[in-house]
Structure formats: structure tokens, C-alpha cells
Amino acid sequence: MHQSGEWIRAGEAVSRFLQLIRFSHTIFALPFALGALIVAANGWPSLRILVLVVVCMVFARTAAMLFNRLIDWSLDQRNPRTASRHLLISKSGAIVLLAVSSGCFLVAAAAINRLTLILAPVALALIFFYSVTKRFTSATHFFLGLALAIAPIGAWIAQTGRIDLAPIVLAAGVICWVAGFDLIYATQDYDFDRREDIRSLVVKLGIARSLRLAQLLHLLTFVALIAFGMVAQLGPVYYWSMPLIGAALFYEHRTDKLDLTGINRAFFQSNAFVSAVFLIAVCVDRLR
């Protein structure tokens, strides 16, 4: 019975940790990294590279989320939407886990090839940098996009050992995609951000214009995904998936009422669908 109780407490601790770092959001960036990896390999990559890329993705994102939580620790406590975050894990525990996840990312990246070893600290610095941008720029949404856009570029480098045009085009699409849905997500913090003098395009432009900008960004995302297919020389199956992605992006902007339910629908359902369809299309094109 005593051992069972320890397992339950351990399970609850893991659950709180995963909730803190929003582990479920990994589904957004990971498919683009895996898609870039498969295109770069022109088929299945080796099991070693595949595992190392996934490990790098998970630990880099974990480190980024922990850094974000630590930077915003007191700020989150004042925001009604995030007020309970600090109760999920102790601050000292978050610091230890940040150090561990950062170290694991660097070790995994170093095990891939020379260029990933050199660029790994740069990538870590960039994804950490996003968390402080809200203090001095309203373009913070684009820095979040940049943080996620590193994933497909890193996966491409892991496979090829070099940087090419195709992953850069895909990364541009990811930047626009993430910035667009982050603008939608940020509308729920409009009043709090104004009160706390937090820099955000939603505060600077207002909700209506921010949503129009999000529409433009997602249009550019659609264009970038088509351009990626052209540069990477993908086949018809990839292009046949584009109407599905376009429909999902359009659906994301059909939220008539900006309540939490509508935002979650846009944030989770549409974006998870976009990334999943992209990965499936790439897999069918390159693995058949």
C-alpha cells in the first residue's frame, strides 16, 4: 500500500510538470521538424538521427517552457488566467529541471554532427530570448515563431550537416503560422497586458486589427508551405493536402466570439490539424 501511494504521488508530480510546460503543445512544432527531416533524408532517416532529433526537440522545448515560467513567475501570479501555475511545481525544482533539460539538449545535439554541436548553444539562446522580448518589443509573437522555426532548420542540419533554402522557407512559414495563432491567443490577456504595461501587438494595435494581422500572417503561412513544396521538389500528394491546411487556417479565424472556448478551438484543433496534415503529406510523398 505504501509503495502504491508513492507511485500515485510520483504520477501526480509528473502530471503537474507536464501541465506546467504544456507538453501537449509539442504537437505543434514536432511535425514540422519531422517533416523537414524526412524531406532532407529523401525517405526514412536513420533510427539514430530520428531519435536524437526527437530528444533534442523535447528537451529544447522543455527548457524553453521552464525558462519562460521562471522569467514570468511573479507576473503569472498576477494574471487570473495563469495565477495557479506557480502551484504546480516549486521554483527551485523548476530551476533544477531547467538545468537538466538544457544539458540534455546540448548533449543530444553534440551527438548528431559538428554543425549541430556548434549551433546548439545559439539555438538555446534564441528560444530563451523569446521569454524576455515582451519587456521591450511588441513583436514578441514573431520571436515565439522564430523559437519554433528553429526546429525544422535544426532537423535539416541534423540530417544533412548543412543549411539549405528549403528549411529556411519552411521556417518562414512556421514563424508566420505561430505569430498568427499567438496573436489570437494573446487577445484573452488584452486587459491584463495593458494594466501591467506588457508589450504586445494586441495592446499596440487593438484586438480587431490584431486579428486582421493574424489572418494576413496565416495567408503568408499558406504561401510559404506551397513554396516549400516547390523548393523541396515535393510531389502532387503534398499539394493535394494544401486545401485541407487552408481550410483549417480559415476555420481558425471563424471564431465569432473571443471567449476561452473559441480561442482553445482555434489554438488546439486547427493548429494541431495543420501540423498533422503537413507531416502526413510529407510522409506519403517521400516514404511511399
Fold (CATH) for 27-287: Tetracycline Repressor; domain 2 (1.10.357)
Q: How is residue 137 written as a grid cell?
A: 518589443
Q: How is residue 215 written as a grid cell?
A: 489572418
Between the two ends of the chain, the Cα-to-Cα distance in Å is 51
- Count of positions (residues) in the chain: 288
**Res. 160 pLDDT band, cuts 50 70 90:** very high
Find cell 507511485 and name the residue. 7
Burial of 3 (0-12, 13-18, 19+ CB in 10 A): exposed
What is the DSSP secondary structure assignment for residue 269, as one 8-state letter? I
How far is CA 14 from its chain centroid?
Answer: 21
171: nearest Cα among 199, 157, 151: 151
| Confidence (pLDDT) at 181 | 87
What confidence tens digit (pLDDT) does each residue in 86-140 have?
A: 556 777 888 888 999 999 999 999 999 999 999 999 999 999 999 888 888 888 9
Q: By the 8 A CB rule, do 153 and 36 touch?
A: yes
Q: What element of type H or E holds 286? A: helix 271-287
Q: What element of type H or E holds 117? A: helix 114-133
**Res. 202 pLDDT band, cuts 50 70 90:** confident
Q: How is residue 70 written as a grid cell?
A: 521562471
| Confidence (pLDDT) at 65 | 85
What confidence tens digit (pLDDT) does each residue in 33-62 have?
A: 999 999 999 999 999 999 999 999 989 988
| Confidence (pLDDT) at 172 | 97
Is residue 4 scored above 80 in pLDDT?
A: no
CA dist., res. 143 & res. 130, Å (int): 5
State the average pLDDT over residues 146-172: 96
251: nearest Cα among 231, 230, 271: 271
CB atoms within 10 A of CB 258: 15
CA dist., res. 253 & res. 177, Å (int): 13
